Structure 1
Amino acid sequence: MRRDPLPAGAAGPAGDRSVAGPPATDRWSRLAALLREGPYGRRALIALAAGAVSALALQPFNIWPLLGLTLPVLVLLLDGVRDGVRARQAPAWAALRPAFGLGWCFGMGYFVAGLWWIGAAFLVQADDFAWLMPFAVLGLPAYLALYTGLGASACMLIWPRGSARFLGFAAVMTLAEGLRGTLLTGFPWNNFGYALGSDLNFAQASAVFGIAGLCLITLACLSTPAALLDASRRWRARLGPPLAAALVLAALWIGGAWRLAHVEVGTVPGVKLRIMQPDLPQDQKFRYDARRSVMDLYVATSESAGGLEGITHLFWPESAFPFFIEREPEALARLRAMLPEGTTLITGGGRLEERPNGRRPAVYNSLLALDSQGRTLATADKVHLVPFGEYLPFQETLEALGLQQLTRVRGGFSAADTRKPMEIPGLPPVLPLICYEAIFPAEIVSASKSYDQPRQGLLLNVSNDAWFGETPGPFQHFEQARMRAIEQGLPLVRATNNGISAIVDPLGRVVAMLPLGARGVLDGALPQALASTIYANIGSSVSNFLLVLFLLLAFASQRGYTRRD
């Protein structure tokens, strides 16, 4: 059966050997043709490399303008897929598979380069877990890249020519990021919005839009340089989208700078905080036989800055003890000897809860507040547990096969039903965030609205990032926790085992910090909370409105393009 020849300037089917593209009549169109045409395997490798370079926009590198080069690469690659399908007059769904492949490659590069450090956790107890390292370093990114691939594929259903495709691209990819942060317990680590949020001036926009809105703005604005390679359009039309994006970014930056310069943040009177960062080697943290040396280190470090007189609240990190503190009389005696009257210790630690009918006791990853007599004043249990770190899916079945999670708690940790505020004497109501609970902004908004009491006045994040050593992971974790402070307009106190521990004001400014890999204490006042932000009041409503608007504009433009064809 003879096929009709392809239109001029078109090539073979997308996903096979080549796709359509404009004639290479100048240097701009030649560059675009490199991305739009040619063997699919070459374009997949370009997508992989572009995704990997994109990770440099994140902590600790913070080269966010790089997304202005890498996101246009992905847009042009998707242009080529859609043009190839249109050239063959094939239905839109024919573009789904090749677009998915390119999006998956971009995501794979992004997540491997941005999350490789997770593999360090499997070397802490290498004899038992080193064999799992490849599954974490490659398997997790391969899974997360499915969402990037899904987003790229869905873009093809509303992919118009011209400027509207940047809006459609941003909206659909933001939706994909939302799914990544929700499905299968969610893992929204390194959302694209954190690239722009690494600049504190831009980050102020999250008080209105949240990280989802910042993601939408990042993708829409930093993908527009692709318009410069639209060789079929006049230069004036090519320059329009990047100039509009530059104006939006400039407005956000100036608005953020104004907020930082003019919003005053006071301190809570009568409160003096101390955060203790022990830098305890991870291989000692869960050894019961090391309990005395662990307590010696914690007490000595806590008292290292001239004792605790005058300190109202002392903070220790997540999972501080290789035992249950409430069931260790010797450890409680050490605390009573250390804490002056009126000083409260807030520490991470395991909590054991007996169950009826001979069932195995429930073990919780918790925060505990203890007074100078060693009495428990308040507790909060972790709600959002880490899969494979704190529990195993199908726990009993996998344990029967000899598998265990990294924390080695038989039966896994139990999750609390709800996140409850802690009422700690001398502090405003505390919203506890244990470890990576700080990366789920929607859960914080939901928790803040669910209490019939005054608004929380403090975010408290305790973590143990020593699993990951001196890698980008702790920097990324701190950046995400700091974003929660800006979104909510609340100060953040962060206590970690090996860093980064800090006091952060509600504008995201670091008041005091202990760097990664340091041992010591930091003292400081507690910043006051600001009035409730727009994001704290209505969540993602503003960003959702923009997302729907972007989708409608892209869809309308795509229908208009189809009618003209």
Structure 2
Amino acid sequence: MSIAFFSGVAMSLAVAPLNWWGFAWIAIAPLWVIVNGENHKASGRMISPTVCAIAWGIGYHGSALFEIRGLHPLMWLGIPWLASIAITFFCWAFITLWGAALVAIWQGGMRLGVRSWTSAASGSRTKIGNSGVAFSLFRVLLGTALWCGVETLCNLTPLAWTSISYTQSPGNLAILHLGQLSGAMTVTAAIAAVNGLIAEAWISWQAKAKDKQPYFLVAIAVLLFVIGHLLGYWLYRQPLNDLATSALKVGLIQGNVPTRIKLFPEGLQRAETGYAKGYTTLVEQGAEAVLTPEGALPFLWNDRSRINSLFYQSVLDKQKVTWLGTFTAQKGGVARSLLTLNAQGDAISRYDKVKLVPLGEYIPFQELLGGLVSKLTTVAENGLPGGLNQRLDTPFGLAIASICYDSAFPEIFRRQAARGGQFILTASNLDPYSEVLMAQHQAQDLMRAIEIDRWAVRATNTGYSGVIDPHGRIVWRSQPQTYDIHVQTIYRRQTQTGYVRWGDWLTPVLLILAAVAGVVRWVRSQ
């Protein structure tokens, strides 16, 4: 079990900001050996593969998401010190165990599929065998397909952040370009398959196979790794060919208003002054439009509040488009919104945050668990999520919008790109977290920019704000925990990658191939 746990920790070392991405290509192999090997004993006791899978999941997800401890302290909300510790620990433990459960589901499906293959062979009148290259390759196909399937299902839930694909961002830009083919699952499949081949080679070597099977499997792993990177590098080297007529000069503001003062008069005054001043300066520097972070003005934006807003007066004065992060009242609740304000200060379009943070921005299963969960969260009012089919129309064409946690869900970006979105606008508030989470969030946005081949502009409250080109290169990045403004020329694009056109086609193909292989095996056994 300790081997499984520490291999999970090794996987977390590949995640930003360490970016030791090479670990990801070997860190699943020990778990694979445990799940598929014959010996599960330790100190005379049988070790359950399920327990080992959970241990691996805790090692990876628990370490990669440890920065959630930045929630503490919450005393500024009137929460006692011990209660603040309890809330932070509960949130970390919940998401860690959720990730561990997904790994356990993977190993369960893996063992079930292998057992079906083995049962078919045991009932066969001819010698098919449960060893050999064919059996090993089937397990690699099955394990890869199931890992992609589990991650795909995870992306349909409110909790998704630590896909193994993002262990390669931003350190391995070449392999990330495989995301243009079928999204992040292409990278996940490559990592899982290489790990599986290495593990199968080890299992064969331990079984003292008489042929050259271990060497053959290692050779396939090396070949897959090299071909994947060569293909990704070829995509990475493709020229962008941006036209001068598609240029757009965008300014962004990093307001640096701490959450602990943001909702009080001091914070409101600081936000109004900082964003109004930043907007005016950026326009004077030639910005055609200005992007602000999530909740830049932390109050409901309506006719009454905007009249009294210093920022609104600046827009009327300079008459340039701005994308304002604020809150809007919608039927059934309050939405975290990104508004497009035209030169007259009118909101001509709106994007509402789709993926709200459980326990942070809404209480899940409110009717059943509201009373209990409310004791473990700081949520004062349930947020209202936006729909997947939103459009952010701007005077410069359709934009692809996301707000903070949305960045972990590729489908949100793909749908907007498929409808004609030409550039990415991300508004986030990462306070009170450290630079570790800032780097991880940047890594998510970087993957989205590559997958849909778009320029991305990121405005955050405390960092990292920045600009990323369609090849994932960071053109500019702010310093953390500082007030900062910047103007950058980006380019509107209308290209359609394979992922934008067809979505994640690879996962169902892998699952179908694994199922077909199992059926063929059964037919042969008859």
TM-score normalized by structure 2? 0.85
Mapped partners of 1:369, 1:520: distance in 2: 21
Tell me whether 551-560 or 172-181 shows the greater mean CA deviation: 551-560
Name the amino acid aligned to 1:123: P
Q: Which residue of 2 aligns with 1:224?
A: 197
Give the conservation status (yes or no) of the 8 Å contact 1:228–1:239.
no
Deviations 1:126-156 (A, max 9, x none): 6524321111222320122111011112111
Give the conservation status (yes or no) of the 8 Å contact 2:15–2:167.
yes
Correspondence 1:498-517 to 2 at 5 A: 498-517=462-481
Do residues 375 (structure 1) and 346 (structure 2) align?
Answer: yes
Counterpart pick for 1:63 among 11, 14, 20: 20
Do residues 328 (structure 1) and 305 (structure 2) align?
Answer: yes
Mapped partners of 1:397, 1:546: distance in 2: 38
Name the amino acid aligned to 2:392: M
Shift of 1:234: 4.6
Do residues 123 (structure 1) and 77 (structure 2) align?
Answer: no
Shift of 1:400: 5.3
Deviations 1:404-432 (A, max 9, x none): 7866443x11123444111111x220122
Q: Which residue of 2 aligns with 1:132?
A: 87
Structure 2 residue ranges without an equivalent (≥5): 115-129
Name the amino acid aligned to 1:245: A
* Structure 1 vs Structure 2 CA RMSD: 2.9
Q: Which residue of 2 aligns with 1:430?
A: 399
Q: Report the secondary structure of 1:482's partner residue.
A: helix
Deviations 1:39-97 (A, max 9, x none): xxxxx1221121112101111112122134321211111133x5679xxxxxxxxx9x9
Mapped partners of 2:310, 2:55: distance in 1: 56
Do residues 461 (structure 1) and 443 (structure 2) align?
Answer: no
Mapped partners of 1:279, 1:285: distance in 2: 10
Shift of 1:334: 4.0
TM-score normalized by structure 1? 0.79
Q: Report the secondary structure of 2:485's partner residue.
A: strand
Q: Which residue of 2 aligns with 1:395?
A: 366
Q: Which residue of 2 aligns with 1:442?
A: 411
Cα gap change, 1:252 to 1:333, in 2 (>3 Å): same
- Greater Cα radius of gyration, structure 1 or 2: 1
Give the conservation status (yes or no) of the 8 Å contact 1:390–1:406.
no
- Equivalent pairs counted in the alignment come to 492
Cα gap change, 1:527 to 1:239, in 2 (>3 Å): farther
Give the conservation status (yes or no) of the 8 Å contact 1:316–1:347.
yes
Q: Which residue of 2 aligns with 1:18?
A: none
Give the conservation status (yes or no) of the 8 Å contact 1:420–1:432.
no
Mapped partners of 2:147, 2:372: distance in 1: 39
**Percent of aligned pairs with the same residue?**
22
Q: Which residue of 2 aligns with 1:72?
A: 29
Cα gap change, 1:419 to 1:123, in 2 (>3 Å): farther
Deviations 1:527-558 (A, max 9, x none): 23252001100011134313432454477679
Structure 1 residue ranges without an equivalent (≥5): 1-43, 86-94, 356-360
Cα gap change, 1:66 to 1:552, in 2 (>3 Å): farther
Tell me whether 320-329 or 68-77 shows the greater mean CA deviation: 320-329
Cα gap change, 1:257 to 1:395, in 2 (>3 Å): same
Mapped partners of 2:416, 2:202: distance in 1: 45
Deviations 1:216-260 (A, max 9, x none): 111111332221452312573212222222222222222222223
Mapped partners of 1:446, 1:266: distance in 2: 22
Mapped partners of 1:405, 1:347: distance in 2: 31
Give the conservation status (yes or no) of the 8 Å contact 1:189–1:439.
yes
Counterpart pick for 1:414 among 360, 384, 407: 384
Shift of 1:318: 0.1
Tell me whether 535-544 or 63-72 shows the greater mean CA deviation: 63-72
Q: Which has the higher contact order (CA 8 A, sep 6+)?
A: 2
Runs of 4+ deviating beyond 6 Å = 557-560
Counterpart pick for 1:179 among 133, 153, 163: 153
Mapped partners of 1:263, 1:550: distance in 2: 37
